[in-house]
Amino acid sequence: MSQRILLYKAYDYVEARLVVNELELAGVAAEVHRYSDPETGWIKADVYASRPSQLEAAQRVLAAYRTRRESKAERPDVACGHCGEQNPANFELCWSCRADL
Ligand SMILES: [Zn+2]
């Protein structure tokens, strides 16, 4: 076994790939390991640092990733002033009637 270090427990493989992508953009070598959750049987994925020397850089990238994800999740939906449908906070036009939000 090499000295892999667990960086991030992802929700699923797609999120794990996203995190690895962010890490690689910052020059941090990382890898995904898939496993099936013994309780649910779902495929989970963890992200590991390939090089222990890059741990600090990796943690900076992950901190920024978590902050970004949380700020997105905390923004409430916006109700359309025209038709009243709920729209995600990052939408500029109503998905239903195309009015400006
Ligand atoms: Zn609308």
Q: Return the CATH number at 55.
A: 3.30.70
9: nearest Cα among 27, 26, 34, 29: 34
Residue 39 lies in domain = 5-74
**20 neighbors 32 (Cβ within 8 angstroms):** yes
Spacing, Cα 29 to ligand 1 middle (Å)? 44
In the chain, where does DSSP find H-type helix?
13-25, 55-74
Q: What digits encode the pLDDT tens for the residues 4-25? A: 899 999 988 989 999 999 999 9
Quick check: 2 pLDDT over 70?
A: no
pTM of the model: 0.66
**4 neighbors 49 (Cβ within 8 angstroms):** yes
Q: What digits encode the pLDDT tens for the residues 63-91? A: 999 988 887 666 778 899 999 999 888 88
Tell me how far apart the alpha carbons of residues 78 and 85 are, in angstroms, rounded to a whole number. 8
Would 41 be classed as within a structural domain?
yes
65: nearest Cα among 13, 26, 12, 35: 26
The pLDDT value recorded for residue 73 is: 67
Spacing, Cα 79 to ligand 1 middle (Å)? 8
Q: How many domains does the chain have?
A: 1
